[in-house]
A and B are shown apart, each in its own frame.
Chain A
Amino acid sequence: MSVICGINWKTPVTTASGTFSRESAALVDVKRLGAVTLKGVSCEPWHGNPPPRIAETYGGMLNSVGLQNIGADEFIKNELPFWLRFGTPVIVNLAGHTVDEYVNAAKKFNDTPVEMFELNISCPNVDMGGMAFGTDAKTAGHVVSEVKKVSAKPLIVKLSPNVTDITEIARAAEASGADAISMINTILGMKIDITKRKPLLANTFGGLSGPAVKPVAVRMVYQVSGAVKIPVIGMGGIINAADAVEFFMAGASAVAIGTASFADPHAVIKIIDGIGEFLVKNNINDIEEIIGCSRIK
């Protein structure tokens, strides 16, 4: 068992936002997850970006979905009850174009039984807001402190890797009241359709995820977990238990599985089982023993 911001997770593994739906819950036993992180929700419904939104790339994929969602009110009414019946902690990913929109989204979920918030200041696919908040320490600090003021739940802040110094943003988030950091969101990328001589994605750019980004994610988790005292939830390209163990050793207190589920819908359960086997095989009683163990002192 892991305790993240005072919330009990039966295993230090969750889903990455935007990769786990009701259909996933038919393919995976949600009760086995440490927590279930849901797709980004904003105050009002968002249309998302025009298609094509997906491009496969070597060892990964680009997406430019743009946080299409039904809005907080409908989500609370029609979507949330489905997720609350498993007894697994629910993390709601909050999206916004402005500080007020983030604050209002948090307010809407304060009275629901969700256990944690994940503040999405790192989506690369929305024009206003999203990553714009997560790539400047001052702006990031401001939105985190405003949401923290109203938030009735532990606040995880999800960081963008598309920055010069991610520790600076992480420190600003911590100083502004973040209870945990999750990272990394996708890396801004692009693919060109060489037959059409045009960008493949209608939005030109998209966010890269999958094993291709893993070394970048591990490096950043290592840097950030050395720079802040709050827990780090590590993600970015984990497709097996060995990948997850790397993140723990880099300093992550928990991990999230995203794109791997598209390649194998049972991936998250296989990874949970594989982490357990690794711990047994190496006589590790508590995962705490390996968290950050790779750090060169």
Chain B
Amino acid sequence: MNIDCRSEIFNAVYFETKIILNKKIAPSVFEIKIYAPDFFSNLFCLKAGQFINFYVGDKAMLLPRPISICEINRESFEIRVVYRVAGLGTEIMSKLKNNDKLFVMGPLGNGFCYLKNKRVWIVGGGIGTPPLLQLAKEINNSCVTEIFLGFRGGTDNPPILTDDFKKICGNVFVATEDGSVGTKGYVSDVFADRKKPDHVYACGPMPMLSAVTEWAKSNGVSVSVSVEERMACGYGACVGCAVRIKDGNTFAYKKVCRDGPVFNGEHIFF
């Protein structure tokens, strides 16, 4: 089973786009839809797990905000992203209105491999769940899919996108640390007693990815994880977004933006 989707192809484009929706969906969490026909010139390279650079346009904040693609609409040429306001840049983004313009670049990075005729799990945590929505849309019809979504819970960190996932897939399981929604505990508490899948896709905080990878390894299941790291350029020039990857008996730093953000979980030093 080939789960490596790394591609040498680089077909990102940089252009000014238009906001068609910017809406708060949870405390500090927003969704933006942009009209981005330029991204659709090569349909095969626009994949779940890829990301887009958003250039906020504030002179004091030079660097783009890299945000993963949550949904791809190939009929209307729209891209939906879901992001958390984590600093000044995303705060400015959250105030953009319909028809406001901003520069974007994408698609960037390598997406998830789309498996066929397998039993797969999709495991998301917190603000790591958005890229898994498009993945679920892509593979749900060709794989037996179970989806596990974990959140901290409470009024500040309630579950997000769970209804969107439920529209796509009948097997969606939610866990919250405080038990406010779904099962109390972590996603691993939910999936532990279910029948093993052939493959696990995961995106979320590093401790969760580490735990999911450990589980997968000890159960002989392959795992793809999408990671994040602070980056400057987003396309491979600055070599800032390093992740430690196994390389024979030693290690090498790979670029999250260009070699990832999706990696074989077993290759990562967590």
**B60 pairs with A59, CB closer than 8 A:** yes
Residues of chain B with a CB closer than 8 A to A58's CB: 60
Are B239 and A56 neighbours in the complex by a CB distance under 8 Å?
Answer: no
Chain A nearest CB from B156 CB (Å) reads: 15
In contact, A51 and B14 (Cβ under 8 angstroms): no
Q: Does B63 contact A (CB under 8 A)?
A: yes
A68 close to chain B: CB less than 8 A = yes
Whether A68 touches B62, Cβ cut-off 8 Å, given contacts A52-B229, A54-B231, is no
Whether B233 contacts A261 by the Cβ 8 Å rule is yes
The answer on a CB contact under 8 Å between B60 and A48 is no
- Contact residues in B for A19 (Cβ distance below 8 Å): 233, 237-238
Give the distance in Å from the alpha carbon of A210 to the alpha carbon of B241 in the complex: 18
Distance from A53 Cβ to chain B, minimum over Cβ atoms (Å)? 5
Interface residues of B in 15-51 (CB under 8 A from A): none
Partner of B12, one of A27, A51, A55, A65: A27
CB pair A61 B232 closer than 8 Å: yes
Give Cα A262 to B10, complex, Å.
Answer: 17
Say if the beta carbon of A22 comes within 8 Å of chain B: yes
CB-CB under 8 A from B242, the residues of chain A are 48-51, 53, 65, 68
Tell me which of B230, B236, B253 contacts A68 (CB under 8 A): B253
Minimum CB–CB distance from A59 to chain B (whole Å) comes to 5
A54 pairs with B62, CB closer than 8 A: no
Contact between chains at A21 and B55 (CB < 8 Å): no
Q: Verify if B61 is at the interface (C-beta below 8 Å from A).
A: yes
List of B residues within 8 angstroms of A262 by Cβ: 62-64, 232-233, 237-238
* Alpha-carbon distance A239/B253, docked complex (angstroms): 30
Residues of A within 8 A of B229 (CB): 51-52
Q: Is the CB of B103 within 8 A of A264?
A: yes
How would residues 18 to 47 of chain A score, 1 for a CB under 8 Å from any chain B CB and 0 otherwise?
111111101100000000000100000001
Determine whether the beta carbon of A263 is less than 8 Å from that of B63.
yes
CA distance A4 to B11 in the complex (A): 34
Is B203 interfacial (CB 8 A cutoff)?
no
Residues of A with C-beta under 8 A to B55: 263-264
Q: Is the CB of B240 within 8 A of A54?
A: yes
Residues of A within 8 A of B233 (CB): 19, 261-262, 265
Question: Could you tell me the distance between the alpha carbons of A19 and B237 in the complex, rounded to whole angstroms?
Answer: 5
Find chain B residues with CB under 8 A from A122 CB.
none
Query: Which residues of A sit under 8 angstroms from B60, Cβ to Cβ?
Result: 58-59
| Bound CA–CA A66/B243 (angstroms) | 14
The reply to whether B14 and A63 contact each other, CB–CB distance below 8 Å, is no
A21 to B240, CA, bound (A): 13
Q: Mark A53-82, 1 if CB is under 8 A from B, else 0.
A: 111101111010100100000000000000
B72: interface (CB < 8 Å) = no
- The total of interchain contacts (Cβ-Cβ below 8 angstroms) comes to 110
Partner of A53, one of B12, B237, B240: B240
B residues 74-104 touching A (CB-CB < 8 Å): 89, 103
Contact with A along B49-75 (1 / 0, CB 8 A): 000000100011111100000000000
Q: B105 an interface residue at 8 Å Cβ cutoff?
A: yes
- Kindly state the separation between the CA atoms of A83 and B105 in the bound complex, as whole angstroms: 23
Chain B residues contacting A239 (CB-CB under 8 Å) are 62
Contact with A along B220-246 (1 / 0, CB 8 A): 000000000111110111111111100
From A70, which residue of chain B is reached at the shortest CB distance?
B252
Asked if B59 and A18 make an inter-chain contact with CB atoms under 8 angstroms apart, the answer reads no
Q: Report which residue of B14, B89, B235, B243 has the largest number of chain A beta carbons within 10 angstroms of its beta carbon.
A: B235
Residue numbers in B under 8 Å from A22 (CB-CB): 10, 236
Q: Contact at B103–A21, with CB atoms within 8 Å?
A: no
Q: Is there a chain A Cβ closer than 8 Å to B152's Cβ?
A: no
A190 to chain B, nearest CB (A): 15
Residues of A within 8 A of B89 (CB): 56
A224 to chain B, nearest CB (A): 26
Q: Name the residue in A61, A261, A263 with the highest tally of chain B Cβ atoms < 10 Å from its Cβ.
A: A263
Given A24-B235, A39-B239, A47-B252, also A56-B105 (CB < 8 A) = no
Residue picked from B55, B236, B239, most chain A C-beta under 10 Å: B239
Q: How far is the CB of B103 from chain A (nearest CB, A)?
A: 7
One of B11, B235, B238 near A54 (C-beta < 8 A): B238
Q: Which 8 A-B pairs have the closest CB atoms?
A: A54-B240, A263-B62, A21-B237, A23-B235, A51-B242, A54-B230, A23-B236, A262-B233
Known contacts A22-B10, A265-B14; 11 additional CB pairs below 8 A are A23-B236, A24-B235, A24-B237, A52-B230, A53-B241, A59-B59, A60-B62, A61-B232, A68-B253, A211-B62, A259-B62
Q: Which residues of B contact A (CB under 8 A)?
A: 10-12, 14, 55, 59-64, 89, 103, 105, 229-233, 235-244, 251-253, 258
What are 11 A-B residue pairs whose CB atoms fall within 8 Å in the complex?
A: A21-B236, A23-B235, A23-B258, A47-B251, A48-B242, A56-B232, A58-B60, A210-B62, A262-B237, A263-B63, A265-B14
